[in-house]
Amino acid sequence: DRVAHPLRADRSKLYMADLESALHYSLRVEATRASSLSGAQLAAFKCYVATLVKYFPGRPCVQTYLQTLDVWLRNWTEPELPRTVLKEAMKNNRDASHPSVLPTNVTWVGCQGSERHFRGYPCGLWTIFHLLTVQAAQNGPDKELPLEVLSTMRCYVRHFFGCQECAEHFEAMAAKSMDRVASREEAILWLWSHHNEVNARLAGGDTEDPKFPKLQWPPPDLCPQCHKEERGVHAWEEPAVVTFLKAHFSPANIYMDHAE
Ligand code: FAD
């Protein structure tokens, strides 16, 4: 049984199986639904892969996979990229001296829902996005290209995210305030606070897994120091939130349970 019991996963951890499953699904399934990629859609795909190469803290075989795909895409200069050609280029190569492999099985651990139609891929995609904003802040100059990861995500969601309604909501939030983000650290907080906005909107709705109620995250049991009260009203202690997010979305917090 490859599927972890949802209640046994630890909410304070990230699982490589979730990250790789979401990567596999986004690259090989979601982004290749159209018969070919061209124009802004092709640019969005190239941008997504280039950002993953820079900031996704993958296992060596997955890093090699992403690097190989990135080089291949950079060499593709024709205006149109047929899906069949791209799918061929995205196959694994286990024979090479440096294996280039992104597992093709989908196994949810931290993102496992209590029923099949809950959680899974959207949970994995959020996790990748947060991880990328944090890794970009940890590994790049704070004031340079503050929107590098956020705009890559925005393009990905706009062009590929399968839930059309979600993509429209996200684009509306992005259009309202994303361009005011002035540093990589602010980018971490922008994504965190807007994900909480989504959580608040969806709480109690029919897409909510009853075993995983939508919370303002991180809840006090995960991060007591993230919460405070100002004149009797709940408020976030933002510096503590940044510290928490940097530790939560760090390579050291990624566990290999149930990875291939
Ligand atoms: P998710 O919200 O998917 O969160 C995944 C994990 O991230 C959580 O388990 C938690 O560990 C962590 N987390 C939670 N909140 C935060 C936070 N604020 N900051 C950092 N980490 C956090 N569904 C709809 O029905 N309507 C929509 O409009 C919609 N828009 C979406 C837009 C985007 C860009 C994405 C990626 C998904 C969207 N979804 C939408 C799906 C929805 O947000 C959830 O992903 C889905 O319901 C699964 O929820 P979940 O309980 O697994 O937690």
Q: Identify the residue whose C-alpha is closest to ligand 1 atom 13.
A: 217
So what's the pLDDT on residue 1? 44
Which residues, judged by CB distance below 6 Å to any ligand atom, belong to the binding site of ligand 1? 111, 119, 122-123, 125-127, 130, 157, 163, 165-166, 169-170, 192, 195-196, 198-199, 202, 207, 209, 212, 217
Q: How far is CA 190 from the centre of its chain?
A: 14
So what's the pLDDT on residue 186? 97
Q: Which atom of ligand 1 is nearest to the CA of 123?
A: 3
Tens-level pLDDT at each residue, the chain (260 residues): 455 566 579 999 999 999 999 999 999 999 999 999 999 999 999 999 999 999 999 999 999 999 999 999 999 999 999 999 999 999 999 987 889 999 999 999 999 999 999 999 999 999 999 999 999 999 989 889 999 999 999 999 999 999 999 999 999 999 999 999 999 999 999 999 999 999 999 999 999 999 999 999 999 999 999 999 999 999 999 999 999 999 999 999 999 988 87
Superfamily (CATH) of domain 1-260: ERV/ALR sulfhydryl oxidase domain (1.20.120.310)
> Which one of 12, 158, 198, 226 would you pick to mutate in the ligand 1 pocket, going by the greatest count of ligand atoms within 8 A of its CB?
198
ipTM: 0.99
Return the domain boundaries, the chain: 1-260
So what's the pLDDT on residue 260? 75
Q: Which of 129, 111, 134 is nearest to 250 (CA)?
A: 134
3 state DSSP class of 254: strand
> Which one of 25, 125, 126 would you pick to mutate in the ligand 1 pocket, going by the greatest count of ligand atoms within 8 A of its CB?
126
**Bridge partners (DSSP) listed for residue 227:** 236
CA angle in degrees (0–180, nearest 5) for 70-73-77: 150
Q: Which of 110, 159, 146, 137 is nearest to 5 (CA)?
A: 110
d(CA 134, CA 149): 9
d(CA 260, CA 253): 18
